[in-house]
């Protein structure tokens, strides 16, 4: 199977009838690898900065973060790198920053924590911006956005960091320029689905986090085995939500990608491409598989699959449809 899937590894993902899909990588470690190891990829669609934070005994300094981010931007200098600001809390604790809560997933996590600690946020964004000098491939992504005020506040802090770093560069002898990064938000809290238009006026791109979107849409802890059967990305309710997002983003002319696990699931990827998503970011171990599948499918066939899937009332019906389609591909 590996040999079959390896065919076309160095080619972009494109359906048989020519629909291009940009496949990108979710990373947090092993960022030094690239095309030799992963095959063709078109960006780091999600760099989870909390992972290096979780591997330490204290908050990394601005200099330590700068070195790490620069290494990442340099290793992938030909493609965009989407760096997400710290997303701790929920299922991602920091040993040296304990948070005690009854409901961690509904509590102080992601942007909620960093906006309450602007010093943590500013140090991180400053490190990202300083790291980007000379590369120009930095994009900044904000996790767990729920309200417009959070977008405004985060933007204000990013602007503050931008002007600080720009002034510091201007005062040094080197002729270094700072490019303003694109800033986007994760669509993973369901409330954002009904604020896309207002948020779109303030950001450059959206990235859909299907892991948390599924968790919050169905009110089901993504790590609780007892309720795992309710956590189902083939549930038509989630499919309708995802369809809504891509349609709105097309109307609003805002780039949108998917960086949750669903993008790296063969059936999930087929449905997402059928809906109109053209950028999928996934764990590296799924890249070859998804690239191969997309290269062996026709987008008209996907349209039929999607229409059938959206008219289903049960996740199992969707699963059956998708499995049949995948079996037909071999």
Kindly list the residues in this chain that would bind ligand PEP in the complex (CB under 6 A): 46, 48, 87, 188, 209-212, 259-260
**Interaction with Mg ion in 226-265: which residues (CB under 5 A)?**
none
Four-CA torsion 308, 311, 315, 321, nearest 10 degrees: -10
Closest separation in Å from C-beta 275 to ligand PEP: 16
Measured in whole angstroms, how far is the alpha carbon of residue 108 from the centre of its chain?
20
Measured in whole angstroms, how far is the alpha carbon of residue 105 from the centre of its chain?
18
Alpha-carbon distance of 66 to 309, in angstroms, equals 45
Measured from the CB atom, the residue of 259 and 297 that comes closer to ligand PEP is 259
- When CB distances to ligand PEP are compared, the closest residue is 209
What is the longest distance spanned by two Cα atoms in the chain?
65
Strands 81-84 and 256-258: unpaired
Closest separation in Å from C-beta 133 to Mg ion: 29
Closest separation in Å from C-beta 198 to ligand PEP: 22
Q: What is the CA radius of gyration of the chain?
A: 20
Closest separation in Å from C-beta 109 to ligand PEP: 9
Measured from the CB atom, the residue of 85 and 210 that comes closer to ligand PEP is 210
Contact of residue 210 among Mg ion, ligand PEP, none (CB under 5-8 Å per partner type): ligand PEP
Closest separation in Å from C-beta 203 to Mg ion: 17
Please report the beta strands in the chain, taking only residues with DSSP state E, as ranges in sequence order: 13-14, 20-27, 44-48, 81-84, 138-142, 182-187, 205-208, 256-258, 279-282
Residue 83, classified by CB atoms within 10 Å of its CB into exposed (0-12), middle (13-18) or buried (19+), is buried
State the number of CA atoms in the 13 A half-sphere of 188 facing the CB: 28
Residue 107, token pair as written in the block? 């509590």
* Residues 294, 13 contacting (CB under 8 angstroms): yes
Alpha-carbon distance of 247 to 161, in angstroms, equals 34
Measured from the CB atom, the residue of 178 and 217 that comes closer to ligand PEP is 217
For the chain, the first-to-last Cα distance in angstroms comes to 10
Contact of residue 260 among ligand PEP, Mg ion, none (CB under 5-8 Å per partner type): ligand PEP
**Interaction with Mg ion in 156-195: which residues (CB under 5 A)?**
188
DSSP H helix total and E strand total for the chain: 14, 9
Measured from the CB atom, the residue of 31 and 187 that comes closer to Mg ion is 187
Q: Token match 């809906």: residue?
A: 275
Measured from the CB atom, the residue of 107 and 134 that comes closer to ligand PEP is 107
Asked if 209 touches Mg ion (CB under 5 A), the answer is yes
Closest separation in Å from C-beta 33 to Mg ion: 23
Measured from the CB atom, the residue of 283 and 311 that comes closer to ligand PEP is 283
Closest separation in Å from C-beta 254 to Mg ion: 19
Measured from the CB atom, the residue of 184 and 209 that comes closer to Mg ion is 209
Measured from the CB atom, the residue of 283 and 303 that comes closer to Mg ion is 283
Q: Token match 């629909």: residue?
A: 19
Closest separation in Å from C-beta 156 to ligand PEP: 24
Those residues with Cβ within 8 angstroms of residue 181's Cβ, 6 or more apart along the chain or in another chain: 128, 129, 132, 138, 139, 140
Range in contact with Mg ion (rule: CB under 5 A) among 96-104, 161-169, 210-218, 302-310: 210-218
* Residues 42, 14 contacting (CB under 8 angstroms): no
Residues of this chain that interact with Mg ion (CB under 5 A) are 188, 209, 212
């Amino acid at each position: 199977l590996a040999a079959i899937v390896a065919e076309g590894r160095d080619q972009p993902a494109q359906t048989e009838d020519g629909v291009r899909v940009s496949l990108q990588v979710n990373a947090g470690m092993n960022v030094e690898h690239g095309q030799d190891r992963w095959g063709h990829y078109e960006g780091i669609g999600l760099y989870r900065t909390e992972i290096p934070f979780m591997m330490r005994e204290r908050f990394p300094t601005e200099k330590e973060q700068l070195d790490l981010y620069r290494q990442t931007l340099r290793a992938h200098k030909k493609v965009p790198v989407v760096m997400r600001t710290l997303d701790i809390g929920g299922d991602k604790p920091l040993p040296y920053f304990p948070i005690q809560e009854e409901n961690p997933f509904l509590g102080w996590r992601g942007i909620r924590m960093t906006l309450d600690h602007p010093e943590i946020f500013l140090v991180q964004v400053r490190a990202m911006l300083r790291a980007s000098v000379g590369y120009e491939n930095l994009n900044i992504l904000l996790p767990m956005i729920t309200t417009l005020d959070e977008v405004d506040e985060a933007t204000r802090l990013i602007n503050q960091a931008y002007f600080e770093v720009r002034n510091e560069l201007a005062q040094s002898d080197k002729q270094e320029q700072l490019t303003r990064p694109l800033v986007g938000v994760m669509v993973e809290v369901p409330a954002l689905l009904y604020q896309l238009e207002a948020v779109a006026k303030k950001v450059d791109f959206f990235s859909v986090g299907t892991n948390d979107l599924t968790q919050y849409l169905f009110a089901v802890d993504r790590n609780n085995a007892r309720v795992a059967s309710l956590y189902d990305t083939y549930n038509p309710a989630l499919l309708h939500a995802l369809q809504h997002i891509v349609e709105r983003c097309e109307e609003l002319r805002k780039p949108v990608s998917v960086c949750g696990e669903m993008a790296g699931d063969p059936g999930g990827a087929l449905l997402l491409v059928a809906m109109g998503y053209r950028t999928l970011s996934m764990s590296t171990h799924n890249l070859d598989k998804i690239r191969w599948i997309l290269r062996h499918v026709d987008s008209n066939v996907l349209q039929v699959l999607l229409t059938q899937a959206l008219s289903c009332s049960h996740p199992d019906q969707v699963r059956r449809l998708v499995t049949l389609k995948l079996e037909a591909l071999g």
